[in-house]
Chain A
Amino acid sequence: MRPAAIAWDRAATVQAAARRWRDAGAIDDATLARIRQTFPDPCLTPTPAWRVLTAGMVAAIVLCVFAALLVSFWRSAGLLQAALFLVGAACLVITDRLAGSPRWARRGVAGALSVLGVGFLLLGVALLVGESLRLGEDAAVDAVAVTALLLCGLAAWRWGSPLFTGLAGVALLVGLARLPSARALWIAAGAGLVAAAAPRLDSGRLAPSQRRGAAVLTAVGLGAIYVATDLHALDAGLLERLGHLAPTRPAVGGSQRLAAALGTALIPPAILAWGLVSRRTLLLDIGIVLLALSAVTLRHYVALAPAWVMLTGGGALLAGAALLVERALRRAPAGERAGFTAEPLFSDERRQQTLEMAGAVTTFAPRTPAPPDEGFAGGGGRFGGGGAQERF
């Protein structure tokens, strides 16, 4: 990242924290104004709606230009690939210029161009290897994985983007999945990513966006370790399927399955414990998600109860556990226990509630009725009001 961009990033982080203090009523507007003067952020930072709108329009322009090139050159594979490389490279060059300008760095233009640029270049590489050089689909996938790792890694290093940091991690794992002993490589790579990224989560030497990138890499690394050790993933040959277009299922030994079963059972609680000890909500969230996946794996192998009992019981258990934790924290002295609280502190609850509302409405929106001329069919007790369905 450019030194200037790091400075803007730090100032923006301080200003964002100050806005949250003000929104929580901990400081007044005058104090917020003084903080802004003390830590000036020269970047223009529109609201998310403006940024999404701007990014969408930039994407429309670039895609229209590319489609025009496609229509003109579709008969020639060489020209098409040249167009892809040209447009992709142009997008990345413009992104780099914009990322260095406080007027343009955060308006959505650079973000859209960077994603499109990387996408065009990867498509170009896939066509070059697969069609022009005729090296086959496997070679094309390998080439795309390596190029994605390089491009996303470069983008993460240059612009500090957490998105590209995460994509670079994913590209690394996809590439490793295609090598022999992919499972061991995933465990080693996952452990390596966690070992490299976790100590940098609080590093003052990194810019805030680079620290967010470290958090993404930690999540990717933990996810890789879990997938490589999950029993169901082992039995289903998930990594082998990911590795080759025509998967071959190697025989799975008993000791391997035992190790996987232990990994499935122990890794999520270990991550949860790490999160509790270090008071990192990132690790707690990852631990909760992996614990849920382990519960699904357990249900796959051991039919403890019918599906409806597991779903209803699991739901009640989750909600009950959440309420117990909330009550324990609320009733603790000063509303906190071991450094944890149920109070929102300085987080933006309104945004969270809006997201929840959008999620609830999207998930539970009722299905539209069939056209009237088809007539009513009870469906033998089909169940669908309120978005609930008989298939899960």
Chain B
Amino acid sequence: MVNPDVVGAIARLRAEGVLSSVQAARFERVARRGLVSLRFEIRALLYAGVLLVTAGVGSLIARHQQEIGPVAIALGVGLAALGCLAWVGRRAAPFSWGPVPSPGVAFDYVLLLGLLLAAADLAYVEAQFAILGPRWPRHLVVVAALDLLAAYTWDSRTALGLALTSLAAWRGVVVGLAPALLGPGIAADLRANAIALGALSLAVAVASARLGRKPHFESVYAPAGLLLLLGGLLGGTLYDAQAWTLWLLATLIVAGLVMVVAVRLRRSLYFALGVPAAYVALVRLLFEPFRYGSHADSLPLLLSAGLGAGVLALILAVHRRVREE
């Protein structure tokens, strides 16, 4: 869209000498839609293309595996994955511990396609030939290792995200907000896995930032780690009938620490993950005395609303402080 407000502002800024003529001319051309970027459309089409190709390969294997044969399928998909990764390897910029600009718009998507095909091939090989036998979920470790290697070699946060979710899937955990809060509850061993993986992910996030080794990967490690850690702790608070008070205490301590660190580091996302965890844990505490009543009671709901008002006041106060610093 032509942005008439920005067009008018550019004219004024140019007249007042804030912008040079060259700057103003370029900005005005973009604001008047004289020059339009198709970057978003190109990336979206490439992403949709990767989605469709992956789905098509899956459909081919599911419907025609008897005719094609497992060896041919495994080899074919593996070669396609190798081809993608080899292309990426040839095009990639030299390795650096810092952020590396993508050498081209197709680079990220060919890498994504290669990793997805490789993961699919490994899963297929394991399903057909049962190489790992009863330990078949361990193929996810191989997938995670491949994704991790790709993430560091070619500086891909998408590959790192896939690595973390594969690692979590190996331990039976899904990285996300909903399962711990809305699901029927998670088993104790899965909670332990989530907490351990979350703590590990957070430790790597800290190490990455402090040692300057891919410090920008902190933005993937830390949120994933917080989701797993807080989700695991909250799962114990909500579903462990025997030791829920201990879980509650642990959740509050960890969420409090997360909030303090988030404020110090000025990471609003981390703060936004810590606050709901603490709130939900405290709501569990508020409802406990009313669990065994013979009829529904509005008191815990009103108390929860009051607690929410307190938390809201805390959010506003912390935001004011962060802004003033």
Contact = CB atoms under 8 A, between A and B. Distances in A.
Interface stretch (A55-63, A127-135, A235-243): A55-63
B124 interface: yes
Given A322-B45, A386-B123, A311 B301 contact: no
Interface stretch (B87-95, B170-178, B238-246, B247-255): B170-178
A369 interface: yes
A274 interface: no
Interface in B107-123: 108-109, 112, 115-123
Interface in A3-28: 10, 13-14, 17, 21, 26-27
B104 to A, nearest CB: 8
Contacts of A369: 136-137, 140, 169-170, 172
Contacts of A35: 9, 13, 18
Interface size, A (range): 35 or more
A344 B39 contact: yes
B52 A314 contact: yes
B324 to A, nearest CB: 12
Contact of A309 (B5, B56, B299): B56
A244 to B, nearest CB: 33
A39 interface: yes
B123 A385 contact: yes
Contacts of B60: 308, 312
A203 B1 CA distance: 10
A318 B48 contact: yes
Interface in A289-344: 292, 306-323, 325-326, 329, 336, 339-344
A315 B53 contact: yes
Contacts of B36: 279-281, 339-341
Contacts of A318: 45-46, 48-49, 52
A313 B108 CA distance: 20
Interface size, B (range): 35 or more
A10 B41 contact: no
B56 A381 contact: no
Given A13-B3, A280-B1, A378-B127, A49 B272 contact: yes
Interface of B: 1-6, 8-9, 12-13, 16, 18-19, 23, 26-27, 30-31, 33-65, 70, 105-106, 108-109, 112, 115-124, 126-128, 130, 133-134, 136-137, 139-140, 143, 157-158, 161-162, 164-166, 168-170, 172-176, 219-220, 268-269, 271-272, 275-276, 279, 296-299, 301-302, 304-305, 308-309, 311-312, 315-316, 319, 323
Instruction: Give the top 5 A-B pairs by smallest Cβ distance, nearest first.
Output: A385-B123, A386-B119, A315-B52, A319-B49, A312-B56
